[in-house]
Structure 1
Amino acid sequence: MALHFELVTPERLVLSQDVYMVTVPGTEGDFGVLQGHAPFMSTIRDGALHVYDSNGAAPREIHVVGGFAEVGENGLTVLAERVIED
C-alpha cells in the first residue's frame, strides 16, 4: 500500500502523489511516515524532506522552510512556509 503525500505552500500545491515513505525534519527530531501511521501533528524545522517513491529507492530531497506536518486518514500533508527548489 502507498502513502498519499501532499506538500503545500501558501502559494501553491507543490506535490501530490502516492509514495512509499517520507522523512520529515520535525522540530524535535526527524520522523518517518509510512502508510498506516497513527494520526500525528508536528511543527517542522528548516531542512530536507526525504521522499522515497518505493521500498529500497534512493530518496529525493525537497528543502523546506518552517511549517507543519499532519498525518491523518488521508496520508501525510506538509504545510511549508516555503519550498527551496534547486
Structure 2
Amino acid sequence: MANLHFELVTPEKLLRSEDVHMVVVPGTEGDFGVLAGHAPFMSVVRSGELTIYSGPNTVSGKIHVEGGFAEVNERGLTVLAEAATEQA
C-alpha cells in the first residue's frame, strides 16, 4: 500500500510532516479526501476539521484548521493553514 506524504504548516511552525494513508480536508467546495497518487490540484481550505487516516479505517488525528490553502502534487499533500488546533 502506497503512503501519502502529508505536511501541515501554519505561519508559526510546521505542525505535521508524516506519511499517512489518507487525509480529508475541508475545502470551500466541500470536503475532499487525498490518497497517494492523487491528481495534482490546489484548493482553498475553509475553517473546519481535517482528518488524518493512518490506515483505511483508522483515524490517527483530527485537527481544526482556520482557512488557508491545500496543494496536492507529486510530493504529496501540503496544507497551509492560517491557524490549526489539535483535537482531543
Structure 1 unmatched runs, 5+: none
2:43 is matched with which residue? 42
Matches within 5 A, 1:1-86: 1-86=2-87
Counterpart amino acid of 1:60? G
Give % identity.
64
| Number of corresponding residues | 86
- Unpaired runs of 5+ residues, structure 2, are none
CA RMSD of aligned residues (A): 1.0
Measure the CA separation in 2 of the matches of 1:73 and 1:26. Answer: 20
Q: Structure 1 residue runs of 4+, over 3 Å off?
A: none
User: Which amino acid letter does the alignment assign opposite residue 5 of structure 1?
Assistant: F
Q: Give the TM-score normalised by the residue count of structure 2.
A: 0.93
